[in-house]
Structure 1
Amino acid sequence: MVLTQQTHYDRQVAGWLILCAAVIFGMILLGGVTRLTNSGLSMVEWRPIMGIIPPLTDVAWQEVFDKYRQSPEYLKINRGMSLDAFKTIFMFEYLHRVLGRLIGILFFFPLVFFALTGRVRAGLMPRLWLLFVLGGCQGLLGWYMVKSGLVDNPHVSQYRLTAHLGLAFVIYALMFWVILDVLAGRRPAAGQPHALAPWGAVLAMLVFLMILSGGLVAGTKAGFAYSTWPLMGTSFLPPGLYSGEPAWLDAFEDITTIQFNHRIFAYLLFVLIHLFAWHLWRSGLGARARLAAGLLLAALWLQVTLGISTLLLHVPISLAAAHQGGAVVLLSATLYAAHLLRRGAPAA
């Protein structure tokens, strides 16, 4: 079959967006490692342009280290840290910031090229520019988050961390959806959303809310509160749930309540995703629907296994980072299924 010129351009645009999405996935993983190694507050300055150049001499390293030694984290937690130890945590945060700048470059310049050469399908440019603006907002939000830990209390706000994580997933999800749109091409005139389509959208939103719940767990270090499963300590309902004043605030600030809510949310999603996958398999949309159902269940079981293992092994860095990556995989599988239902594809 001879490809039309627009189809050829669509594949170029999709390839570029897939590369950007893959780098964002790496960024989310690196962000998790940066947090888990307590490296996020090692750079006490935000220099969007000059910050891409790391310390290159002993004098430069000492200057950066001296600035860090004036920070609350050093004075209250890491007092006496050696320069060599500082270099390790600095490099995690430095690479995280450099990767963020790289994503901006990978996205902006090809976007301009595709726009000027007329390769972007009609109606797609507003969404691409929205992604670019959201990427800029993510950089600002990241620094706003870091600033919360450069005051008297050397810990970033769990609210700002969750917002930063949530926006990263929003950007990824929007980009992934655009990729699916571009690869699928225009919807056939007779195509209608499947009856399950609203449930696909609801499930994607629930997975996103689950990710925000995980952000609160990470921001408060609630994962360390109970390293047992399926019980929390010696009971399913641990003592102290919603015992604060006001009680609703415990959902955001009490580590016992936060971990309990994350577990309950996981149980709910476990049941709902299995039911959804069963209906998707029987949806009459053919092989692609069965593939989507299989991918969704595989992603779910992978994420559940990683989550329980992370908890039982007391949050090792490798497993905790993999669990964060697993959230990306699960969200991707959910979006793929939702997109398939939204297009109402004919049986394959």
Structure 2
Amino acid sequence: MTMTAIDETVPNARQAHNRKMIKIWLYVILILCLAIVIVGGATRLTGSGLSITEWKPVHGVIPPIGEAEWQDEFEKYQQIAQYKVVNQGMTLSQFKGIFWWEWAHRLLARLVGVVALFGLIWFWATKRIEKTFLPQLIAVPVIIAIQGAIGWWMVASGLGASDLTSVSQYRLAIHLVTACIVVIFVTYVSRGLADYSDKPANRSIQKFAGWLVFMVLVQIYLGALVAGLHAGKVYNTWPLMDGQLVPEGLLADQPSWRNFFENRLTVQFVHRCFAYLLLLAALVHALKVEKLASGTTHARRAMLLLLAIVVQAIFGIITLLLEAPISWGLIHQGVALLVLVFAVAHWRATKGAYAVEKA
């Protein structure tokens, strides 16, 4: 009689079942996070972000009911600079159009917070979480709560005594980046619970894949600055910009550092150049993985990531040439998020799954 060896690196049936349930829960959170960012993009592009002038985390889930409540909400909006400068004379019906975008954005934010918190409590109370990744799961609702606070901090920049007619591009960029960090974290933890057929890639591939995630995040940040300044509606030619490969006026503002945050020409130029750098890095990575791990899923994922970045670059060019209409702006942002998720999934796969906790 022969004895079959037990592979201690493979989860037992109970662990595998619990990991699957936790992974599904994290995927639901991830989908909600992606939806929040997309609706947030529509909120920004329609100029709806300042339509709700108060932060009521609990009571705010109920929208205005009846004409009197709608009129009260509209009067609050009429006190801020955006209404006085941009939307003077707006009707109540038009106000409702922008109100619903911001309300939907906040509702989704509340929903993901509830799903994250109560999901964690349930899994923890029923002892379904292994100690190996308990800290990561505890961190999920915490960083989501922090992101919600940052969202209000961003909105507050365009309210009260501020003379801004939209939110600060600095705070907008921070809000989007922190949202992407939530997406990165949830994707990374959830993919660590997956089963992988290939062994982990070597350290150089793992590090390169990690740097690609960072570069995608930086590019999204630069895109947020472009969006905050409405820089996609100017210099709408490609590959030349203002008729030149390197346009004049990149450092026209003083002090010089302000050009990288407030000069629409410079901000768009940097966004373009970093896109080329990201594309080059993805190409080098794909060739490197093909050379060192040919025929593996690591190599296939690296090539798919390169193709995704190429598609995103094409969509970016189309968005620019069309002067950033809302539809293409949302497509461009949505594909950027998918590229980010895939880049994180690829990075996590090069490391392999979480180790099995011995009973």
State the shift of 1:287 in Å. Answer: 3.5
State the shift of 1:144 in Å. Answer: 0.7
Residue 142 of structure 2 corresponds to 133
State the shift of 1:121 in Å. Answer: 2.0
Alignment of 1:29-178 (within 5 A): 29-150=38-159, 151-178=162-189
In structure 1, the residue corresponding to 2:132 is in which secondary structure? coil
Residue 226 of structure 2 corresponds to 217
The aligned length equals 343
Structure 1, 122-131 or 261-270: larger mean CA deviation: 122-131
State the shift of 1:319 in Å. Answer: 0.9
Amino acid at match of 2:53: V
Separation of aligned partners in 2, 1:224 and 1:195: 40
In structure 2, the residue corresponding to 1:110 is in which secondary structure? helix
Residue 311 of structure 2 corresponds to 302
Shift >3 Å, 4+ stretches: 190-194
Q: Identity across aligned pairs (percent)?
A: 37
Q: Is the 8 A contact 1:283 1:289 kept in 2?
A: no
Residue 298 of structure 2 corresponds to 289
Change (3 A) 1:52 1:319: same
Q: Is the 8 A contact 2:192 2:353 kept in 1?
A: no
Separation of aligned partners in 2, 1:344 and 1:140: 32
Alignment of 1:130-279 (within 5 A): 130-150=139-159, 151-184=162-195, 193-279=202-288
User: TM-score, structure 2 length as denominator?
Assistant: 0.91
Separation of aligned partners in 2, 1:281 and 1:114: 40
Residue 323 of structure 1 corresponds to 332
State the shift of 1:2 in Å. Answer: 10
Q: Is the 8 A contact 1:193 1:344 kept in 2?
A: no
Q: Is the 8 A contact 2:116 2:140 kept in 1?
A: no
Q: Is the 8 A contact 1:194 1:343 kept in 2?
A: no
Q: Is the 8 A contact 1:27 1:99 kept in 2?
A: yes
Separation of aligned partners in 1, 2:327 and 2:290: 34
Give the alignment partner of residue 32 of structure 2, picking from 23, 36, 39.
Answer: 23
State the shift of 1:66 in Å. Answer: 1.1
Separation of aligned partners in 2, 1:55 and 1:247: 46
State the shift of 1:222 in Å. Answer: 1.3
Separation of aligned partners in 2, 1:121 and 1:297: 35
In structure 1, the residue corresponding to 2:89 is in which secondary structure? coil
Separation of aligned partners in 2, 1:62 and 1:197: 56
Q: Deviation per CA, 1:101-136, whole angstroms, max 9, x where unpaired?
A: 000111111110000111112221211221211111
Q: Is the 8 A contact 2:234 2:323 kept in 1?
A: no
Give the alignment partner of residue 322 of structure 2, picking from 313, 324, 327.
Answer: 313
Q: Is the 8 A contact 2:282 2:306 kept in 1?
A: yes
Which consecutive unaligned segments of at least 5 residues does structure 1 have? none
Structure 1, 294-303 or 155-164: larger mean CA deviation: 294-303
Separation of aligned partners in 2, 1:340 and 1:2: 17
In structure 1, the residue corresponding to 2:293 is in which secondary structure? coil
Amino acid at match of 1:211: I
In structure 1, the residue corresponding to 2:342 is in which secondary structure? helix
Residue 6 of structure 1 corresponds to 15
Structure 1, 308-317 or 336-345: larger mean CA deviation: 336-345
Which consecutive unaligned segments of at least 5 residues does structure 2 have? 1-9, 355-359
